[in-house]
């Protein structure tokens, strides 16, 4: 079985002592960073720690927005406080989305302001093909990076913050009486690996940035687009074993490799981004957000079928020149946008990998397209340990035995089994006849909506909406119920939504009320 998804795969291996790129594949192609985003979140936090704005013991206040982030998280509640050091460890081990949002809001006052500082910092240290939109890496079509840029960040963290970089080797820590383990399974298992971060969303595949130091040699290895966590890790080990012997034995880091990092100001985010780069972003439009593919750990039976290339890298590669092996053609060049200010997004996956793009409204949503899929990196643990996401879904099923709901149309949505073949066609036709319930075009076309599930029929959607309204009390008294049919994988589903919210605050408040009654939900701006 191949280790990577060709359309999403990119990688780079660099000898940090000599600066020589020993291996690369699609290294400058745009990719979704997923939870690799948290590396920059920590870089910015380390800047403020270094200049004394925070201490490791400083308490960070948790907002309702941070508490409502999708899993994986530490379970922080609005009004809680968490120390800077625990937040750091929470990001590095559990890849906690609530802790990342908490850091962003406490450092910059808001997530948009923090994301802007992250992007400015990226530019200052030499990451020329990266833009951040949030602090945790949950899906946003305007957030992108490249394997090369993630390599730069992996090196920068070591060079710029040697006093804090050891946190990335944390294998576990105790938080509120519970032991939190690290998702990076290479730590403690591969000789010389000392960090740094894993990441996963459906649209990116399984990502990792790895630092390894052994026998006087040093590498930073980036792999993006792994098909599963285990296959990604196996590919990283293969790259390490192939290229570490080719690295230079030397202390320190190549001066050219770290020149931008050394030249950057102590607080790189304070530097204005180059004007031409800002203009470039507003003048281009890239293809739309690729539709997620099934999560391998929980939906293995729905894993996509594709003709995958042979294992990489080759057994013997000359030392004379860097190696480039492209598994898939580079995305097409972006075209000039007809609209004045479109948001930049990543290249669309080939039709063989995705049949449709996400709704445009999801481009502005605060949560991922499926909270149940845990769009942070939750790699499938080695047998016989239970899968973290399977446990989460099972808990959801126990709480909602009558209404088994995922937060959006996902391949993990718990819906009734498909009907017998004789009845399937009639049921599909019935579901296609579902119309938006008691919603005017005005309420559906502006403001904010909240989505509480994607179920298998209009009756299930109606029942779910009725139960949600009765559970949320006054928060949904004036909301408009919406039933929206869609097809996926040959099956028809129905989204259950409430519309008519005039502000994000009102939608978030209603969503919070639903979550107290064990309903999944997220907000969408129309």
Q: How far apart are CA 16 and CA 360, in angstroms?
A: 41
Distance of alpha carbon 155 from the chain centroid:
21
Task: Show the tokens assigned to 206.
Answer: 């399984």
Q: How far apart are CA 498 and CA 519, in angstroms?
A: 13
Any catalytic annotation for residue 95?
yes
Q: Which of 7, 18, 95, 365 is catalytic?
A: 95
Task: Show the tokens assigned to 442.
Answer: 């005005």
Tell me if 167 sits within 8 A of 186, measured CB to CB.
no
Distance of alpha carbon 385 from the chain centroid:
23
> Given CA atoms 187, 193, 197, 202 in this order, what sign does their dihedral have?
negative
Q: Which of 35, 369, 407, 443 is catalytic?
A: 35
Task: Show the tokens assigned to 463.
Answer: 């029942």
Q: How far apart are CA 47 and CA 53, in angstroms?
A: 9
Structure letter (DSSP) for residue 475: G
Q: How far apart are CA 469 and CA 289, in angstroms?
A: 32
Any catalytic annotation for residue 266?
no
Burial class (CB in 10 A: 0-12, 13-18, 19+), 162: exposed
The edge-to-edge listing of strands for the beta sheet with 217-226 is 193-201, 205-214, 217-226, 10-15, 21-25, 323-324
Task: Show the tokens assigned to 217.
Answer: 């040699």
> Given CA atoms 442, 443, 444, 445 in this order, what sign does their dihedral have?
positive
Q: How far apart are CA 367 and CA 184, in angstroms?
A: 24
Task: Show the tokens assigned to 136.
Answer: 């945790």
Q: Which of 8, 38, 197, 227 is catalytic?
A: 38
Distance of alpha carbon 218 from the chain centroid:
28
Tell me if 5 sits within 8 A of 17, measured CB to CB.
no
Q: How far apart are CA 223 and CA 231, in angstroms?
A: 11
DSSP string covering 107-171 = HHSSHHHHHHHHHHHHHHTT-TT-B-SSSS----TT-BB-HHHHHHHHHHHHHH-TTTGGGGG--
Please tell me whether residue 97 adopts helix, strand or coil conformation: helix
Any catalytic annotation for residue 365?
no
The H-or-E segment that residue 282 falls in is helix 275-282
Q: Beta partners for 257?
A: none
Please tell me whether residue 222 adopts helix, strand or coil conformation: strand
| Residues catalogued as catalytic | 35, 38, 95
């Amino acid at each position: 079985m191949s280790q990577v998804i060709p359309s999403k795969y990119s990688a780079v291996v660099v000898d940090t002592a000599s600066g020589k790129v020993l291996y690369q594949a699609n290294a400058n192609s745009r990719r979704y960073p997923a939870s690799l985003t948290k590396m920059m979140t920590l870089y910015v936090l380390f800047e403020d720690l270094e200049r004394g704005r925070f201490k490791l013991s400083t308490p960070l206040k948790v907002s309702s927005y941070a508490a409502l982030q999708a899993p994986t998280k530490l379970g922080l509640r609005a009004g809680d406080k968490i120390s800077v050091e625990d937040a750091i460890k929470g990001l590095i081990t559990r890849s906690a989305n609530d802790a990342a949002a908490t850091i962003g809001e406490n450092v910059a006052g808001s997530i948009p302001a923090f994301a802007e500082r992250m992007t400015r910092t990226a530019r200052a240290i030499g990451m020329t093909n990266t833009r951040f939109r949030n602090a945790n890496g949950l899906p946003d079509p305007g957030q992108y990076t490249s394997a090369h840029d993630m390599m730069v960040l992996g090196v920068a963290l070591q060079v710029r913050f040697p006093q804090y970089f050891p946190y990335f080797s944390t294998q576990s820590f105790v938080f509120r009486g519970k032991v939190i383990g690290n998702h990076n399974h290479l730590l403690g298992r591969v000789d010389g690996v000392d960090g740094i971060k894993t990441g996963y969303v459906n649209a990116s595949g399984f990502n990792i940035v790895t630092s390894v130091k052994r026998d006087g040699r040093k590498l930073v290895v980036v792999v993006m687009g792994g098909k599963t966590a285990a296959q990604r890790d196996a590919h990283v080990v293969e790259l390490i074993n192939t290229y570490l012997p080719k690295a230079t034995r030397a202390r320190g880091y190549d001066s050219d490799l770290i020149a931008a990092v050394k030249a950057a100001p102590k607080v790189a985010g304070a530097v204005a981004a180059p004007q031409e780069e800002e203009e470039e972003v507003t003048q281009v439009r890239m293809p739309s957000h690729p539709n997620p593919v099934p999560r391998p750990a929980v939906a293995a039976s729905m894993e996509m079928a594709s003709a995958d290339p042979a294992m990489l890298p080759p057994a013997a590669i000359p030392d004379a020149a860097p190696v480039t092996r492209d598994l898939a053609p580079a995305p097409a060049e972006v075209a000039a946008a007809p609209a004045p200010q479109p948001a930049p997004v990543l290249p669309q996956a080939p039709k063989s990998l995705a049949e449709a793009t996400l709704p445009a409204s999801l481009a502005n949503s605060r949560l991922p397209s499926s909270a149940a899929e845990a769009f942070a990196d939750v790699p499938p643990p080695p047998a016989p340990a239970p899968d973290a996401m399977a446990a989460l879904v099972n808990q959801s099923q126990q709480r909602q035995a009558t209404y088994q709901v995922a937060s959006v149309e996902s391949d993990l949505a718990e819906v009734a089994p498909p009907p017998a073949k004789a009845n399937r066609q009639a049921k599909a036709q019935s579901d296609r006849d579902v119309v938006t319930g008691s919603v005017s075009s005005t309420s559906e076309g502006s403001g904010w909506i909240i989505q509480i599930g994607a179920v298998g029929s209009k009756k299930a959607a109606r029942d779910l909406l009725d139960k949600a309204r009765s559970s949320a009390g006054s928060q949904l008294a004036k909301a408009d119920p919406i039933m929206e049919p869609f097809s996926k994988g040959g099956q028809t589903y129905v989204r259950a939504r409430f519309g008519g919210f005039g502000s994000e605050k009102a939608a978030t408040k209603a969503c919070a009320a639903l979550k107290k009654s064990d309903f999944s939900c997220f907000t969408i701006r129309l």
